[in-house]
Structure 1
């Protein structure tokens, strides 16, 4: 088999690609990656153009590939990323062949599922209904609450005070333990050791094993199960490693910083059998777990793609100071330069921040563009003496684009709703509205808003409750996977309610009950599409509001980073300390996690970055140093 090679790529060929204007290829690191055909890591700064660069490399490979060469696998973390790569190749005669068999362009989970986990699970005698962590966790939590030999221990794992009711402790403990019910990579027929239970012969562990067996017998598996099965299969069948390495001569992993340890074990196993593995990402954007080290650790010889085209030199210097997982000197020649503002507010004056930010947007950018305000999810400190700030503290008039269930599979939503999971208020509220409207309950409809819907129906509207439970059961048995099937499911719900609403024929839709397809096809967006519109002298400025995690991968015109609760750390004290440090320093786990979140937020905007912090968070010395670094400081008093 002839090797897949790029050794013959000439400067003229690279110049031809550069002439398209898609990306500046004068950078030597970009040129090196285009020709690189050994296993290599690429540490790419935000805005370095890595997706475009990967697309250009695939065009070079497509020109040279013949059927007797090994295939190429491009592995991503989301279908959105997959589609971006496919768009790079679509319509390109020199690369379009890579979109077809025997090549693979898809998500990491799809790769493990298609080539390893699904064949193995079926070989073990299981019928697969779903491989999805959300679905599995919901079903597992329900099963744990019903397990007579495990429920006492499960309740004790909740972490809640013993004064809390047993039911609440059981619910919290079940959700916590459900995520630990993963198959053992050494033996995929048994449960891996669960934290707090090292003895497999204990009655509690035996009960947990029974729960796991019952879920697997129903065909329910988590993504973690899938990776355990994949690694077990690779470890147990050396010929399979060789076969996959022979099939895929080159495997490229995109967004490597989001990859789990188990997934790396799988890819490294194939690499060690002879495949070339190239990992591309930005390890400094790894913010998946507080205090955890990223699973991807770029090798010492990793290509340093440190030139950004997204933002100007001033913001590049800020990002460099916040690159805590792997120091990187990010450079930029983009003009005009990025604008930096620090909005310092007195305690209790946080609601004035949004207005000042809107004024900056109008004066600098004209008031139209992609404008965001972001902060952390609430990680509260029980010992905090002051009221802790959250996103709503700054935006008391948040609006929503309406109820959505985009973040979950419809199947997962129904499973979780069916067991009374309180976090699925959107699903529950949509069903409440549908029942109230279709059944013309009038004032009695208010009863539906008292407590959980199913329990309320059981008590006050038992026939509706039975109909709703039957409908949920039907969806669990055969979950709708397309818009057409979802339309049938909605019609079925309306039919079940027909006896309570004689004029139901007038109703054509269930309103806010939205169909949600494969969750991996949705780009993670800000919390519930929240936004606020602020009037600045007649100019309406829309500011989108979300968490830092929700904006990963996005590019904005302007971003406002808000001081929000982050355990017991004074967040912007650490921010100023990092920006003003003269040398690289070692941060503690939570500090590193905090600064990594700041890194993600501060590298989103093209033109303007603003941070908002309580005035007592940044001392006079740090303020002066920030001013010398190009920051404009605005003060808000009560």
Structure 2
């Protein structure tokens, strides 16, 4: 019998977690309690504490779980979301039980590979070495004949990445790009290259789903066995799950299977709609009934009231963060063709009015990164020509591992993602100092890097211990010398490193001070330094999804003939207006583009704790709109003065 969760169990857990916490005690309202006790699908607004709710539910289930060979399956869309859940439960005595058999926490791709595709491959003698689109495409590219290369180069529609298997009518079918005749050299070369890739174990991500589908059709008992193994399934970040993935999961866990299946996410933030795979309908669909969690601890109620009209599903957004005293007003910066270059400096002037402790994370975002064609483009580069979307992050490591750990525990700024990235970088540095290497799948010996660290740990059999240790470091409240000694010893064991020899010793010593805030572990390359000294990271809206900022500026950009901020002004004024509808069959029609604008601007404007600003051209905001935004919604209108004539 499955565990039953009730208010008494929730109160007991909260009492345990809140012991000694004081005013920061965790409190759950009825909407969050309902999401924990029941299995209805949940629409969690930005900053709703979705991961906390999921973590609490999993801990409660773990406390009551007694089955030895049945477990809970938690699926996510990305490794970032998976790691956030692992960090939430990894430090709890009961929660740690969920990190191993019979439970599973991973991405939908991991689930597909582990329980379906990889066993199917092994049963047919395929030794899978690499599941990766780029690596597989490179392998195929390197084995094409010159005529085949020429054939593919003749059309942009012919891509080597399309040389893959798909599942159709009960069988696997190989797609040959460009459909050359079977007797041509191009066909034979591509077919031979694909055979070589399979023989050497190189597969595309989508091919694992195709192999899994074939297994499910040929052996229906497999799905039945999975349902028996996992009587409870929870899917996080459901809004980003594609229609194909959703339908795939539905074939394994149909509604009438008697499985407890819960989906959690925010369909208002499904900004990947139209970027390839079609969006799911079971969660993102306009007619789907979801249980809302509408109040956010991220931002103030003033911000919530201003951006509420951008919610596609009309969630009654509420902000519970307290307003700062004498904080600058959320502003709309109005520019013209001559003053567009002054938008970022003006935003920096507005930000400067925030208290220094409340302007640590400042971001400028836009929907379009650069000039992708079209007349009179408007994109991030138009405002700041130095912006480079391909620019990689620069890394500045602290002098000791302990300083990095203390940076993660003692300083409130920075996301869990950034802290995890910093700690993993330090692990790679530890392995470098220890002279550790990793034999790649090409048989060559090389250094351990961020990209192969997971495989290095997997071969050592220490992945679970490593994840627990990373979570423990991030969740620590303080870091004493004796505590660090224990952590350092565990790091040595997990990484197979002697921490008492050579260059490892000074890197692993105890440090009383955290890494300097100015030496941020992950310093993005696209940083605008304003004349008043305010540093602002510039990014696409996609790039900041899931983040929290102190202040955010959303730049107006253009797609086709439409300008995103201009199109959304009416919704900022009147939240009762009928919403535009995205049509996945026609993603580039104006209604679909407007629907995409709404979701992107909702994501962009819901990142900030204290200050949200917009930038719009003076020709695309009317006097009536200015007055309504000021008098009804409380926005400040900031007109950039004309550039003086030289």
TM-score, normalised via structure 1 length:
0.71
Q: What's the CA shift for 1:150?
A: 7.4
Pairing 1:633–2:637 present: yes
Alignment deviations for residues 535-572 of structure 1 (CA, whole Å, 9 cap, x no partner): 32xxx211111111111111000111112342321222
Instruction: Report the Cα distance in structure 2 between the residues aligned to 1:574 and 1:13, rounded to whole angstroms.
Output: 49
1:614 to 614, 617, 626: 617
Secondary structure of the equivalent of 1:304? strand
What's the C-alpha RMSD, in Å, of the aligned pairs?
Answer: 3.6
Q: What's the CA shift for 1:295?
A: 1.6
Q: What's the CA shift for 1:221?
A: 0.9
Q: What's the CA shift for 1:379?
A: 6.6
Gaps (5+ residues) in structure 1?
159-172, 405-472, 488-507, 509-524
Q: What's the CA shift for 1:322?
A: 1.5
Q: What's the CA shift for 1:52?
A: 0.4
> Superposition pairs for residues 320-331 of structure 1, below 5 Å?
320-324=308-312, 326-331=313-318
Task: Identify the residue that residue 281 of structure 1 maps to in structure 2.
Answer: 265
Distance 1:627 1:552, change over 3 A: same
Alignment deviations for residues 553-596 of structure 1 (CA, whole Å, 9 cap, x no partner): 11000111112342321222112133234422334111111221
Instruction: Report the Cα distance in structure 2 between the residues aligned to 1:484 and 1:251, rounded to whole angstroms.
Output: 30
Task: Identify the residue that residue 499 of structure 2 maps to in structure 1.
Answer: none
Q: What's the CA shift for 1:477?
A: 4.8
Q: What's the CA shift for 1:139?
A: 3.5
Pairing 1:34–2:36 present: yes
Task: Identify the residue that residue 526 of structure 2 maps to in structure 1.
Answer: 530
Instruction: Report the Cα distance in structure 2 between the residues aligned to 1:573 and 1:33, rounded to whole angstroms.
Output: 37
Instruction: Report the Cα distance in structure 1 between the residues aligned to 2:106 and 2:10, rounded to whole angstroms.
Output: 31
Pairing 1:319–2:303 present: no
CA contact (8 A) 2:580 2:592 kept: no
Pairing 1:340–2:319 present: no
Q: How many residues align?
A: 508
Instruction: Report the Cα distance in structure 1 between the residues aligned to 2:244 and 2:539, rounded to whole angstroms.
Output: 30
Secondary structure of the equivalent of 1:553? coil
Distance 1:390 1:583, change over 3 A: closer
CA contact (8 A) 1:290 1:590 kept: no
CA contact (8 A) 1:526 1:546 kept: no
Q: What's the CA shift for 1:261?
A: 2.5
Instruction: Report the Cα distance in structure 2 between the residues aligned to 1:64 and 1:478, rounded to whole angstroms.
Output: 48
Q: What's the CA shift for 1:331?
A: 1.9
Task: Identify the residue that residue 367 of structure 2 maps to in structure 1.
Answer: 376
Gaps (5+ residues) in structure 2?
396-438, 454-502, 504-520, 582-590
Secondary structure of the equivalent of 1:157? coil
Task: Identify the residue that residue 566 of structure 1 maps to in structure 2.
Answer: 559
Distance 1:484 1:380, change over 3 A: closer
Distance 1:125 1:377, change over 3 A: farther
Task: Identify the residue that residue 15 of structure 2 maps to in structure 1.
Answer: 16
Distance 1:397 1:286, change over 3 A: closer
Secondary structure of the equivalent of 2:41? strand
Distance 1:7 1:73, change over 3 A: same
> Superposition pairs for residues 44-63 of structure 1, below 5 Å?
44-63=44-63
Q: What's the CA shift for 1:310?
A: 0.8
CA contact (8 A) 1:561 1:610 kept: yes
CA contact (8 A) 1:353 1:394 kept: no
Distance 1:101 1:361, change over 3 A: same
Distance 1:235 1:57, change over 3 A: same
Distance 1:251 1:397, change over 3 A: closer
Task: Identify the residue that residue 264 of structure 1 maps to in structure 2.
Answer: 246
Task: Identify the residue that residue 221 of structure 2 maps to in structure 1.
Answer: 239
Distance 1:210 1:303, change over 3 A: farther
CA contact (8 A) 1:234 1:266 kept: no
CA contact (8 A) 2:440 2:446 kept: no
1:212 to 194, 199, 202: 194
> Superposition pairs for residues 148-547 of structure 1, below 5 Å?
148=147, 151-152=150-151, 154-158=152-156, 173-174=157-158, 177-186=159-168, 190-191=172-173, 208-272=190-254, 273-290=257-274, 294-298=279-283, 300-324=288-312, 326-336=313-323, 339-366=329-356, 368-378=359-369, 380=371, 382-384=373-375, 386=376, 388-391=378-381, 393-394=383-384, 396=386, 476-478=442-444, 480=446, 482-483=448-449, 529-536=525-532, 540-547=533-540
Alignment deviations for residues 416-440 of structure 1 (CA, whole Å, 9 cap, x no partner): xxxxxxxxxxxxxxxxxxxxxxxxx
Distance 1:344 1:44, change over 3 A: same
Instruction: Report the Cα distance in structure 1 between the residues aligned to 2:103 and 2:578, rounded to whole angstroms.
Output: 43
Instruction: Report the Cα distance in structure 2 between the residues aligned to 1:576 and 1:234, rounded to whole angstroms.
Output: 49
Task: Identify the residue that residue 584 of structure 1 maps to in structure 2.
Answer: 578
Distance 1:239 1:19, change over 3 A: same
Alignment deviations for residues 15-41 of structure 1 (CA, whole Å, 9 cap, x no partner): 637856554312x221111111x4x32
Distance 1:112 1:402, change over 3 A: closer
Q: What's the CA shift for 1:114?
A: 1.2
Task: Identify the residue that residue 123 of structure 1 maps to in structure 2.
Answer: 123
Instruction: Report the Cα distance in structure 1 between the residues aligned to 2:187 and 2:543, rounded to whole angstroms.
Output: 37
Distance 1:125 1:397, change over 3 A: closer
